[in-house]
Amino acid sequence: MTAFDFADVEAFLDSHPDLFEEYLVRRAKCDQVSRWLKEHQSSKVSTSEERRAAAKEPLWPSSAEGLRRRSSHMELRRNFARSKATTAHRTYDEHVSLSEHESQSSMRRRALLRKASSLPPTTAHILSALLESRVNVPQYASSAIDYKYRLKETNEREFFLELVKDISNELDLTNLSYKILINVCILVDADRCSLFLVEGPAHKKTLVSKFFDVHSGTTVRPSSSTLNSNEVQVPWGKGIIGYVAEHGETVNISNAYEDHRFSDEIDKLTGYKTQTILCMAICNSDGEVIGVVQAINKNPMGTPFTEDDEKVLQMYLPFCGISIFNAKLFSESRKEYERSRALLEVVNDLFEEQTDLEKIVRKIMQRALTLLQCERCSVLLLEDIDSPVVKFSKTFELMSPLCNMDRDISMEKLSCSDWLINNSIAELVASTGLPVNISDVCQDPRFDAEADQASGFHIRSVLCVPIWNRTHQIIGVAQILNRLDRKTFDDADQRLFEAFVIFCGLGINNTMMYNQVKKTWAKQSVALDMLSYHATCSKVEVDRLKAAKIPLSSELGIDEFHFNDFSLDNDAMITASLRMFLELGVVQKFKIDYEVLCRWLLTVRKNYRTVAYHNWRHAFNVSQCMFVMITTATFQDVLSDAEILALMVGCLCHDLDHRGTNNAFQAKTGSALALLYGTSATLEHHHFNHAVMILQSEGHNIFANLSSKEYSNMMQLLKQAILSTDLTLHFERRTKFFEHVLSGEFSWAAEEHREVLRSMLMTACDLGAVTRPWEVSKQVAELVTSEFFEQGDRERSELKLTPAAIFDRNRKDELPALQLEWIDGICKPLYQALLKLNRKLQPMVDGIDGNRVKWQGLCMSYQQTRRASESSQSTDLGRNTDSSEDTETFELPKKAEKTSQVKNAEFGSKSDCREVLRFRANKEACNDKAASDDSKTSSGKK
């Protein structure tokens, strides 16, 4: 045997490159090719060589006939290097130089920035243009399958190079997977192929196939919209696919049903019988398994896969691994670009809208649904960020339009869902400040399955993170549910959502600060208004009152239920107020300085406006009613000293700075009071805050000698007393109060029952005019009616609205009937319930009954007068049939409309109830005055 020197062999191979290439294709192993690629990966081809090579031969053949064999292995390597060096980030003009491209890009960018600098109203469009990607993904069509088969038979080297070029520049993972499967089918003559890619973290890997059982004759790719629905997942290490992925070994099976790792489930579903299998791992440049390719049933059918099939597949799959790695890398870069763009668009949204909390939160949730591709997003804001108790005050909810719901669920139901308000996961995140990512809620003990069923929305996975403000305080919680692709939220989703929520926190915090500024402005406006109108009493007034002799209660007549509200002048009411405080013993018990008490009373009187009814006289009459109930009815035996003092102070302060208009009027006009306190108990909150302001003024604190605990308790009692004069709260509480009293379950020892009783006492005193003697009650009704008519006039002139019946001076004849409804529906049940607790309140019930008879007489008189008027009109109308018919068709609807408006005015809005009650009383008085001649007739009928 002749011995060859290595130099001679190398010289022979250099002179016969075709022979070497063919031998390499047939004999080279996968590890040898990989090692060769690693060694030559860093080597670069000079620009001049590339240009010369490009001039000699085009990169891609223009036609099938244009393909020819390369002359050397060096040219093959250079051609492959050029194909990999072709940039994926091509510009719009591929023929311009790099410097020219940079120049054009800079010019476009400067032009866009010049447009953006003027800040037009379309800033969102300019931002979108600035963030528009300048990257074009190259698209290369595959050669025809028939051409590949023909090339395989005629030129194996060109065939192999064609398969490599087919996948080398493909950066779309879906298209790449499809090309790989088609090429593998052709390469090993397989009937069908499947590609499984590794997904998931290292501790929870899975194999996912979006293209399953692709055969070599496939010409149309599956629609991208159906990719997720056609996914096949294989657990790591399970079955033949999992075994190959876990161990990295090649599996070649001649009879699939004889292998214990094979599962025939797919065959049963598809009716296709698997006979032979060739399964091989796809690795990246680091040797890590990133996928598995599986070829099924070599053609002709029944022929096993050969060793040559394994070798050629081992040579091709490293190129597939490189292409898959590049495609995944490009896909991740695109995702990061889209995420960064979305975050910048969120910033744009925040600066565009900072005045409306609901609008900005809705924009944020819309961005979150789009960015994270989830079914549902929720934002829950804390009621008090400084409180250790987690309680959400506002909840915002948005459902993805791409979410496939089994049944329609209205957003109103979702926004009021108990699952949102009582969400233990959200409460946990708000209390700990740590994000919670639950991949399977059914396996988590913190999840409430019953609430999930009750909401009608099935939850699979939850990602919940805290929302921080600029001072790093938790102001709420953001939460997304169920990825649209039915996968779990991974670490990348969590990091993105946390970054996203940072911007949300800034936007929400800025909006809340804006609302606080608005409230501060409203508060300042109210304070300036009060200061411009009110002032404290003078020292002369205090000294005069301090030196005055205070008459006894019997001399003043304030110890009687049937007290005349108009028997005392302004100064006498001040001395009577002093007498009530002295006789109740609260001055001595709470060590109230006498001069401070005098100054406080005079200032309180001065802080009532000169309106028709809600003035200082009304406040004094309410306090006198409370005084007589405490003393004459002996409620002082069951009420504590602190409760008595709070109730008396509350009565005197319960209508401080009343403007002669009700809560509904404040809301309609958008007054500073409505902006400051909202539309719920607007005036009552203002009365309490005004009382606090007077108490905090120098020399006015009658609670100065109380301890810190006593003072806090006293202020709480005072607030409850004043707010309870809002009839909305009265309606909410009176049902339980009536039940406790009528059933005999009322307990003086239960604090909850005592609080309700105090509220009922305040309401009974506030409406006490209905229990006064008829002449007094009628005069009070005239005052209330006058004040209400003034508001109705303002509604008609300023707001261009038609006032309700109780505010319309043109409809005063309708008031007696309304007054009867008010007495029967509101007043009498309250006093009867109190009478059951204390029989000494019988005079108040008797007063109501007597006044009701008077109102009944007025109502009957009005009805008789109306019937007589209608009768006379019908007589006149009978003379002219045509005019009679026309009048009837006009008048009857008007009457029905009038009745409907009266009922709506009385019972349609609870915010008007308090004024409705007083209005009815006053209107009754007004009706009595208008029908003063008929009152004698009514009493005679009685």
Q: Which residues are catalytic?
A: 614
Please give, one letter per residue, the 3-state secondary structure of 721-777.
HHHCCCHHHHHHHHHHHHHHHHHCCCCCCCHHHHHHHHHHHHHHHHCHHHHCCHHHH
CA-closest candidate to residue 170, choices 327, 318, 290, 322? 327
User: Which residues touch 405 (CB under 8 Å, ≥6 apart)?
Assistant: 399, 457
- d(Cα 259, Cα 311) in Å, to the nearest integer? 22
User: Which residues touch 925 (CB under 8 Å, ≥6 apart)?
Assistant: 777, 778, 779, 780, 781, 782, 783, 784, 785
Classify the C-alpha dihedral 777-779-785-787 as positive or negative: negative
- d(Cα 725, Cα 766) in Å, to the nearest integer? 7
CA-closest candidate to residue 373, choices 205, 477, 458, 497? 497
Evaluate whether 910 touches 727 at the Cβ level (below 8 Å): yes
- d(Cα 263, Cα 257) in Å, to the nearest integer? 8
- d(Cα 682, Cα 676) in Å, to the nearest integer? 8
- d(Cα 407, Cα 733) in Å, to the nearest integer? 38
- d(Cα 638, Cα 854) in Å, to the nearest integer? 35
- d(Cα 74, Cα 122) in Å, to the nearest integer? 56
What one-letter code names the amino acid at 92? Y
With vertex at residue 742, the alpha carbon angle to CA 738 and CA 747, rounded to the nearest 5 degrees, is 80
User: Which residues touch 469 (CB under 8 Å, ≥6 apart)?
Assistant: 385, 475, 505, 506, 508, 509
Long-range CB contacts (within 8 A, 24+) of 141-146:
142/166, 142/179, 142/182, 143/64, 145/182, 145/186, 145/216, 145/217, 145/219
User: Which residues touch 621 (CB under 8 Å, ≥6 apart)?
Assistant: 563, 565, 768, 769
Classify the C-alpha dihedral 63-68-71-77 as positive or negative: positive
- d(Cα 412, Cα 417) in Å, to the nearest integer? 9
CA distances (Å), 892 to each of 188, 748, 772, in order? 93, 54, 38
Evaluate whether 288 touches 326 at the Cβ level (below 8 Å): no
Q: In what order do the strands lie in the sheet with 436-438?
A: 392-399, 374-382, 474-483, 462-468, 436-438
- d(Cα 647, Cα 761) in Å, to the nearest integer? 9
- Rounding to the nearest 10 degrees, give the CA dihedral for residues 450, 452, 453, 455: 120
CA-closest candidate to residue 299, choices 313, 320, 278? 278
Indicate the length of the chain as a whole number.
942
With vertex at residue 180, the alpha carbon angle to CA 179 and CA 185, rounded to the nearest 5 degrees, is 100
- d(Cα 336, Cα 133) in Å, to the nearest integer? 12
CB atoms within 10 A of CB 44: 11
CA distances (Å), 456 to each of 409, 450, 668, in order? 8, 10, 38
Evaluate whether 329 touches 39 at the Cβ level (below 8 Å): no
